[in-house]
Amino acid sequence: MQDSPRSFDTSLAGLGWVDWLRAADEIVEADGHVENLGPDHAAVFYEDKPILLVTFETHKGLASLSQAAHPIGWTMVKALGWSHLSVVARENSWFRDRHVYGYFDRLADDGFFDEFDQVIFYGAGACGYAAAAFSVAAPGARVLALHPQATLDPRVTEWDDRFTHMRRTAFDDRYGYAPDMLDAAERAVVIYDPEVRLDAMHAALFTRPNVMKFRMRFLGEQLERDLMGMGVLLRILAQFSADRLDRRTLAQLYRARHTHVPYLKQVLARLEQDERLYLTALWSQCILRRTPGPRFRRASRAAYAVAQEQGLAMPPCDVE
């Protein structure tokens, strides 16, 4: 009996690198292809409408963001019919690989990006670095990067001690310094959490006339996961495509944090860390009025107990 054809609803969860690529190829084979870019990277392409979303992702990251271990762009393929090119790394490599360079060289030389009315590059963290860096291959493209690194060249960012294992990797050759590569972009948006000091320092290096930076406090280094959890990330991409993504729109979309529990807990943790007893009580009670939450109830009781010991004034407690 012949297996049923794979579709964009087919789960790829739990598959190793080689099996994942083989299964992805079976899904896109009618209108696309999978191409190995050396042993550690691959390109998964699917063609549909003349809007192309180029995403940079890791094999491990796929599983953490999607229960089906799908590239993020497949959601846009299903919802809006966009074309999609996902460049996937087996490990977190910042895509510093000559095979990846050669692939984008070839796409540029062949006029691949010219076939689309609009091209959007997207990535987060190391993948955000790659989205900015490789966007130069498609002049006039738009770039959305979440807390990207500008470079890991220790001569420029020796203050970033999170990725010391990458310091022997060349970031000063082709497609190297990401902020410079954005000069050819029509527009770029960099979103980051200013509470993560090193991310904020990298974001400062992206200051360019065609770059809009937007701060989203208290989402931390899991900004991409939280925006997905709030149902906001794909809406940001859609608004970016429609020329409606400005600071006001981002601020409106970011209001979804008011019901996003990880964000609410992050704010609470910061208030507790700073020993802001009055605000801890106010914040906890505000949340408890909307939804039950043992974490917030404990925080409220602890704040009142400490305040009573210290003889500090506190707001009336109207939540048990």
Residue 272: per-residue pLDDT? 96
- pLDDT of 2 reads 39
Looking only at the bridges linking them, the beta strands covering 187-192 and 142-146 are parallel
Proportion of the chain above pLDDT 90, given as a percent: 88
Confidence of residue 318 (pLDDT cuts 50, 70, 90): confident
The phi and psi torsions of 189 (rounded to 5 degrees) equal -125, 125
Q: Say what the pLDDT of residue 320 is.
A: 62
Whether the per-residue pLDDT at 271 is higher than 80: the answer is yes
92 contacts 56 by C-beta, under 8 angstroms: no
Average pLDDT over residues 31-56: 96
pTM of the model: 0.94
The whole-number pLDDT of residue 68 equals 93
pLDDT band at 238 (very low <50, low <70, confident <90, very high): very high
Give residue 4's pLDDT.
44
Radius of gyration of the chain (CA): 22
Cβ atoms of residues 223 and 192 within 8 Å = yes
Mean pLDDT of the chain: 94
Calculate mean pLDDT across residues 103-118: 97
Mean pLDDT of 80-92: 95
* Residues 124, 302: Cα–Cα separation, whole Å: 37
Q: What is the pLDDT of residues 7-27, one digit of tens each?
A: 888 999 999 999 999 999 999
Q: How far apart are CA 237 and CA 153, in angstroms?
A: 30
Q: Is the pLDDT of residue 241 over 70?
A: yes
pLDDT digit string, tens, across residues 141-193: 999 999 999 999 999 999 999 999 999 999 999 999 999 999 999 999 999 99
319, pLDDT greater than 80: no
Angle (CA) 203-206-207 rounded to 5° is 105
Kindly tell me the sign of the dihedral angle through the C-alpha atoms of 180, 183, 184, 186.
positive
pLDDT score of 6 = 64
The residue-averaged pLDDT of 87-91 equals 97
Give the Cα separation of 124 and 202 in Å (integer).
13
Q: Which residues, 6 or more positions from 121, have their beta carbon under 8 angstroms from its beta carbon?
A: 54, 55, 56, 131, 132, 134, 135, 138, 141, 142, 143, 144, 145
**pLDDT tens by residue, 182-230:** 999 999 999 999 999 999 999 999 999 999 999 999 998 899 999 999 9
Which pLDDT value is given to residue 291? 83
HEC assignment per residue over 102-159: HHHHHHHHCCCHHHCCEEEEEEECHHHHHHHHHHHHCCCCEEEEECCCCCCCHHHHCC
Does an H or E element contain 2, and which?
none
Reported as a single tens digit per residue, the pLDDT across 290-310 is 888 899 999 999 999 999 999
Pairing of strands 41-46, 32-36: antiparallel
pLDDT at 248: 97
Predicted confidence band of residue 77 (pLDDT cuts 50, 70, 90): confident
For residue 5, the model assigns a pLDDT of 52
| Closest among 57, 34, 44, 41 to 96, alpha carbons compared | 41
